[in-house]
Structure 1
């Protein structure tokens, strides 16, 4: 076994279930679509929570120091929060994308058995409710749960996760210099386009962006307007000559 494999084994052994659950919770929270359910991890977390609850009961009966009890209670609360939040995030995704998930065997395989039953029940209840309250009163051709009309060639009324949205990533180890796709080139093109559109310099654009927050409406409008067009080679040359 190589030294790298030894380090990986030692790191995996040193990782607690709480840390693994926290990682699964973060990944599920950041991912646009539902991820694989880690049944073994959830089972171990539930066992540890039950053990902590029994330990706290014993401490209370035996009159253990309140500080020790509070520390164990804090650990229990943290574990409960992570587990409940992890399961709640998954249920929210299932409720939002129940039809989309039910059409894919791959996505269904990512769910636990309980989640699969929940998704099936949600889909059946939603379709029944829509049929009784709305669809039964609409004319033929417009009474579909998944399509707007008969002219629709695909299920255009099924909510789908935005798989092309941005996500935040954190590496487990040093990967050195790394670039995702051609993002650097795209940013450079955007900067040049901005400068040509407003007749300004790159330094002024970057300075202005540094003053804005990510939630400023003006920067969102700017991005939306400028990414609709790309400058030609002649425009690039003209700008670079300047």
Structure 2
């Protein structure tokens, strides 16, 4: 009789830092019934981050073992179309490619939420992806101010170009808050996405859930003029009120 009922855990499975799992979501990959896996780590410190508890790679929080996720996916196979990896910034985890490959082997489509912090890693991951939700933060000039990271604008720009050039299905989305993003900055970001050839542009309403910055006003309605101006660039502009990638509490 075998000593183990289950196959041994691969080294990458032990290193993958999973800190949240949503078994079924209709918003994390619009149009798909998706499970969402949340990975720890993000080098940016965006003021309106709704998963700040996932920013640090090392933490005392309880992590979920990857075999647990695989078991849950197998049991829900008939209910799901896809698996989305979110965060944090999921590309901060060097083992993400291994997890994507296994998800594909299980028969699911694969999706990614990313702000583009690691373009070199993204290059290697794109062939394993069926869809990318790219979080475009603001215009290039104001990126460092919003993310708290000096080279974030250059990294996001490189990643945005890679996503469009790859041919992988995608959406570019910008979350609006009047204290953090000027209307002209949002408009410039939409122009940038359009000039790259991004297929879909989403303007997301700010939501308070998960945000720890108590000084940030809870309400920031989308300016009608901004919506109209972006519609001139993207006639099929999507306005979204739900939060994509909100980690379970």
Task: Bin the TM-score by the shorter chain.
Answer: under 0.3
Q: Which has the larger radius of gyration?
A: 1
TM-score by length of 2: 0.22
Q: Which has the higher strand share?
A: 2
TM-score by length of 1: 0.22
Q: Which has the higher helix share?
A: 1
